[in-house]
A and B are shown apart, each in its own frame.
Chain A
Amino acid sequence: DAGVIQSPRHEVTEMGQEVTLRCKPISGHDYLFWYRQTMMRGLELLIYFNNNVPIDDSGMPEDRFSAKMPNASFSTLKIQPSEPRDSAVYFCASSPTALGGYTFGSGTRLTVV
Chain B
Amino acid sequence: SQQGEEDPQALSIQEGENATMNCSYKTSINNLQWYRQNSGRGLVHLILIRSNEREKHSGRLRVTLDTSKKSSSLLITASRAADTASYFCATDNNAGNMLTFGGGTRLMVKP
Bitwise, B25-61 to A at CB < 8 A (1) or not (0) is 0000011010100000111110010000000000000
Which size bracket describes the interface of B in this complex? 20 to 34
On whether A45 and B45 interact (CB within 8 A), knowing A99-B30, A101-B33, the answer reads: no
**Majority DSSP secondary structure for residues of B touching A:** strand
A90→B30 CA distance, assembly (Å): 26
Contacts of B8 in A (CB 8 A): none
A42→B101 CA distance, assembly (Å): 8
Bitwise, B1-33 to A at CB < 8 A (1) or not (0) is 010000000000000000000000000001101
- Does A43 sit within 8 A of B, measured CB to CB? yes
Instruction: Kindly identify, within residues 90 to 113 of chain A, every residue whose CB is under 8 Å from any CB belonging to chain B.
Output: 91, 93, 98-107
Contacts of B90 in A (CB 8 A): 102
Q: Which of A56, A98, A102 contacts B43 (CB 8 A)?
A: A102
On whether A99 and B96 interact (CB within 8 A), knowing A42-B102, A42-B104, A43-B101, the answer reads: yes
On whether A99 and B92 interact (CB within 8 A), knowing A56-B98, A106-B41, the answer reads: yes
Contacts of A103 in B (CB 8 A): 45
Q: Are B42 and A91 in contact, CB atoms less than 8 angstroms apart?
A: yes
B105 CB, nearest partner CB in chain A, Å: 12
Q: Are B48 and A107 in contact, CB atoms less than 8 angstroms apart?
A: no
Query: In chain A, what residue has the closest Cβ to B31?
Result: A99
Q: Are B103 and A42 in contact, CB atoms less than 8 angstroms apart?
A: yes
On whether A104 and B98 interact (CB within 8 A), knowing A42-B104, A99-B31, A99-B92, the answer reads: no
Q: Are B45 and A101 in contact, CB atoms less than 8 angstroms apart?
A: yes
Across the A-B interface, the 9 shortest Cβ-Cβ residue pairs: A104-B42, A101-B45, A43-B101, A104-B43, A42-B103, A98-B97, A106-B42, A99-B92, A107-B42
Q: Contacts A43-B43, A101-B48, A105-B42 given; 14 further ones with Cβ under 8 A?
A: A33-B98, A42-B101, A42-B102, A45-B99, A91-B42, A93-B43, A98-B92, A99-B98, A101-B33, A101-B45, A102-B90, A102-B99, A103-B45, A104-B43
User: What is the interface of chain A, defined by CB distance below 8 A to chain B?
Assistant: 4, 33, 35, 42-43, 45, 48, 55-56, 91, 93, 98-107
